[in-house]
Amino acid sequence: MTDIDVAEEMETSFLEYAYSVIYSRALPDARDGLKPVQRRILYMMSDMGLRPDRAHVKSARVVGEVMGKLHPHGDTAIYDAMVRMAQGFSLRLPLIDGHGNFGSLDDGPAAPRYTEARLAAASLALTGNLDEDVVDFVPNYDGQLTQPEVLPAAFPNLLVNGTTGIAVGMATNMAPHNLVEVIAAAQLVIENPEATLEDVMDLVPGPDLPSGGRIVGLDGIRDAYRTGRGSFKTRAKVAVEQISARRTGLVVTELPYTVGPEKVIEKIKDAVNSKKLTGISDVTDLTDRQHGLRLVIEVKNGFNPQAVLQQLYRYTPLEDSFGINNVTLVDGQPQTLGLLELLRVYVGHRLDVVRRRTAFRLGKRKDRLHLVEGLLVAIMDIDEVIQIIRTSDEVAAARERLMMVYDLTEIQANYILELRLRQLTKYSRIELEKEQDELRREIEELEAILGSDTLLRELVSRELGEVAATYGTPRRTVLLEHDDAPALGSRASAGGAIGAAAGAAAAGTSAAAKAAPLQLEIADDPCWAILSASGMVARTAHDEPLVESGPRVRHDVFRSVVHTTARGEVGALTSAGRMLRLQTVDLPMLAASTGLPNLAGGVPMKDFVPLAKGETLVALVPLDTVIAIGTAQGVVKRVTSDYPLNREDWESITLRPGDAVIGAAPAADADTLVFVTAQAQLLRYDASVVRPQGRTAAGMAGIKLAEGDTAIFFGVVSAGDAGDATGHSAVVVTIANGDAALPGTTAGTAKVTPFDEYPAKGRATGGVRSHRFLKGEDRLTLAWVGRGPAKASSAAGVARSLPSEHGRRDGSGVPLSQSVDEIGPSLT
């Protein structure tokens, strides 16, 4: 029995354990950027011939080979290291080509018996030239085999792929970088050993993470490049999209490094349940292999997406922090290195590798030249050589006689004795002379490289450039200098205005905007709710006058315009007499503009209003005023504003069988109601003669229709629009065509007449003639009355100018060059 001092034994054992973890497990070598287990995996797979052009093999086979021959530390540790080298979301340039389930950021990989692997193409650059004495080999754990102390590493793997590891008393955490940028920096250090950190940082501005995303704030990165320690914030790539007619969403397509979508969803739900997050109605993961990551965060109506995103950055992993700690092994000692020091260590390693490779190749070529020269001597006098061999008693005697007669070395003599007869032809001599010249040229080049540091550096730099051209990819991560730099993108969508506003605010730029927090809920600002002739609906960003200025664009012929507020309500009246309540905030907001907004940013009304077969949307109307409604059978009704508060839709008029609403608009007592029929009869009278009724009433006679006639237009002309000196008084527009022609297929004739030329008549009378038909015309296909001048819209929603003449003296119209199917006002 031996007495042992427990304190001394624990100290000794712990130090041995600490050294083992530091040097043999947790920390990478600064030269090839690999930990021992990673290096052993790549070397063993290369030794097994698992090249990119070969078939995959079971991962369990690779794990078994590595564990049995080089790394006796358990299969789990080996497989975990192997899996990480195959994950595209962990390494910027994966080193193993995995086949099967190698896991995700939220889930682990399948067992090694289910997955397959082989070397990725980039690994060939790490393991290449191992058979040319470029690195030292050391014994394995039992001394029966050897393994490389370090890999040749034809690119700076430590900087490109980064690393992470926890040792005893120290840890390392290095961020991935872009291969092209890092190699450019390495080439600079090769060409100019006195290059400064600033010179290098011009080429390597920051990390390039496998998951993309955005890095916000570069001061911490500069500290890490200078001292080896620092930190930076990473943010997800987020865009605002109109995910449905009523909903806007934040769509995440890139996440911070090492953050998975399930983790984000879990944190969002926890924050919503704890009332830390507001304004989010749902989170959906639409990620698939075809489209990649797509995480849709649905924003509640009335909430500012930018403000919601700021909350998400605060309470969820959509914004994460990455701490850089560049601890690595240099000459067997753990050191904390900055960017320039890391590059210098790698460049020194690569210069040594290429120098040793050049010396090895020089020795091989000199040895071959020595044999070729001896062979040429033998072939020049082959008959004598054969005679010497035949007359010798044994091989040793033949060797001695050849060496003495032809002044050959023992190596040359042995090589001649091993010749085959087919190598003694005349053609073989020509080939040998050609090979001799080639070998002398190569030897001269190799000796020049070994004798010139400049040529050696040029060779290393050129090889690095070839690696960058072969394996380089564009940068994925966006670098932002400050927190107030753009972090919220937008995609072309129906909600483009929100994205445009977000982008403008993010590019903005004032410190005041940064200091003032965004308002979470959308303010109840005045705006316009718009319905276009092509059935698009939207709201404006403000309530500035909608003037006709600048070029007109598609969908800008307005059928209805209602002044409301962003959090107010408007009504949508259908041809069946149904009134539906719409929340203004549900409508997509158009980009702020002067003049007529572009309604191409709206969405189809059918996405908001459920319509029955044959039912159409007639108009948008305010819900706080009296509305006048006209029908195809000539019925008129003014509806009071006592609408039910607990219903989303209700009947505004009781229609007769076969009747339909053709128009509706707010109507005060001082306004004028107008009907126009298919037989070109126009009737106008004061709105005061139609008393307001409840929503269930059927209305009263508005215009007397001739047999076979029908009303095609009903509208309201505001008081004061009947005629003024501005040239923008109310006008009557009529378009005639033949009954045999389909609407919109032929041009027809159009007539534009001042509204004040038509006298007022009594309610329920036949009105006056508004358009005299020409030959082939027997009805009006379109009619409109309102403040002029007017525009017409084609079936494609494109505005068309109407004739400037008011019509011929006989009351007929003038030819219309463009067929149209809708007429809308120009607004002031």
Give the 3-state secondary structure of 75-136. HHHHHHHHHHHHCCCCCCCCCEEEECCCCCCCCCCCCCCCCEEEECHHHHHHHCCHHHCCCC
What number of residues does the chain have? 828
CB atoms within 10 A of CB 89: 18
Judge contact between 736 and 806, C-beta under 8 A: no
Could you give the CA distance from residue 777 to residue 671 in angstroms, rounded to a whole number?
33
Q: List the alpha helices (DSSP H) in 381-407.
A: 382-390, 395-406
In contact, 585 and 246? CB cutoff 8 Å: no
Asked if residue 329 lies in contact with residue 21, where contact means CB atoms within 8 angstroms, the answer is no
Angle between helices 261-273 and 305-315 (to 10 degrees): 100
Q: What phi and psi values does residue 122 have, to the nearest 5 degrees?
A: -65, -25
Given phi > 0 = left and psi -120 to 50 = alpha, else beta, which region is 569? beta
Catalytic residue among 19, 23, 43, 114: 114
Sign of CA dihedral 196, 199, 205, 210: negative
Number of H helices, E strands in the chain: 19, 42
Closest alpha carbon to 197 in 162, 175, 159, 224 = 224
Closest-CA residue to 228 (of 342, 59, 124) = 342
Nearest Cα residue to 118 out of 34, 43, 59, 32: 59
Residue 311 makes CB contacts below 8 A (sequence gap 6+) with 271, 276, 277, 278, 279, 520
3-state secondary structure of 536: strand
d(C-alpha 347, C-alpha 219), whole Å: 26
ω into 94 cis (within 30 of 0): no
DSSP of 230-258, one letter per residue?
A: EEEEEE-EEEEEE-SSS-EEEEEEE--TT
Spatial CB neighbours of 405, under 8 Å, sequence gap ≥ 6: 384, 388
Furthest CA-CA distance within the chain:
143
Contact 457, 190 (CB under 8 A): yes
Return d(Cα 488, Cα 295) in angstroms, integer: 15
Other C-beta atoms lying within 10 Å of the C-beta of residue 268:
23
CA dist 699 and 714 (Å) reads 14
| 776, 738 Cβ separation under 8 angstroms | yes
Q: Is 114 known to be catalytic?
A: yes
Which residue type does 53 have?
Answer: D
Letter string b/e over residues 797-810, b meaning 16 or more CB atoms within 10 A of that residue's CB: bbbbebbeeebeee
CA 347/CA 326 separation, integer angstroms: 17
DSSP 373: H
Which two tokens mark 722?
């009947």
| One-letter-per-residue 3-state SS of 421-486 | HHHHCHHHHHHHHHHHHHHHHHHHHHHHHHHCHHHHHHHHHHHHHHHHHHHCCCCCCEEECCCCCC
CA distance 598 to 470: 47
| Residues tagged active-site | 114
